[in-house]
Amino acid sequence: MIDFLKRSFDRLPIAPEKREVFNLPNTISMLRIGVIPVLFFLLLSPGKIMSLVIAILFIAAALTDLLDGYIARKYQIVTTMGKFLDPIADKLIVNTAMIMMIPISRIPAWIVAVIVIRDFAVDGIRNIASSNGIVIQASPLGKRKTLCQIFAVSALMIHYPFIGADAHVVGTVILYIALILTVVSGTEYFVKFYRTSIQKN
């Protein structure tokens, strides 16, 4: 299936010099970003059916993160644009989804604020470190945090009882786990940055 998708994309009339940007993994990342405007429908119609539809779309978009990464590695299509788009797409869709759920009281605003501020702070630290020739590797806790966020957001989007479980309660529990991982992994980045800076000086 993936090979067929790759072959079909390669047949598209795209100039070779533009395939640095318009390749299959990058296109999937762009499509993931394109899902973001659809999330606004959750504000307009937060009923049971629409909540489930938006949640399914969100989960599908989140799963494409695994797909574009796999394709990029398998076919060696790792580009500078891809390295930029992939993490940006993930943060945009997850953070936007959380922000959209604040007005309909499905997620506390302060938790969203902590998570978003942490993301900005960590990105800032890694950029500063990179400009000084310091490489701070991605934290395994950060990856678990992102995974918990996706599960939490999916459940909170569903919100209503689903297959015998209270989706809102399940989502809230996972969200607090994500919050703990957010704080711990953020602190870990600060400590790594401090230690590597001291060692370099």
Digit-coded pLDDT (tens) for 123-149: 888 888 777 777 777 778 878 898 999
Give the side-chain half-sphere CA count within 13 A for 44: 6
Average pLDDT over residues 153-171: 92
Residue 201: band (very low, low, confident or very high) from pLDDT cuts 50, 70, 90 = low
- Burial group, residue 13, by CB count within 10 angstroms (0-12, 13-18, 19+): exposed
**DSSP string covering the chain:** -HHHHHHHHHTS---GGGTTTSSHHHHHHHHHHHTGGGGGHHHH--SHHHHHHHHHHHHHHHHHHHHHHHHHHHTT---HHHHHHHHHHHHHHHHHHHHHTTTTTSS-HHHHHHHHHHHHHHHHHHHHHHHTT---PPPHHHHHHHHHHHHHHHHHHH-SEETTEEHHHHHHHHHHHHHHHHHHHHHHHHHHHHHHHHHH-
Check whether 84 has a pLDDT greater than 80.
no
Residue 199: band (very low, low, confident or very high) from pLDDT cuts 50, 70, 90 = low
d(CA 105, CA 124): 30
Average pLDDT over residues 14-42: 80
Question: Among 64, 58, 62, which Cα is nearest to 2's?
Answer: 64
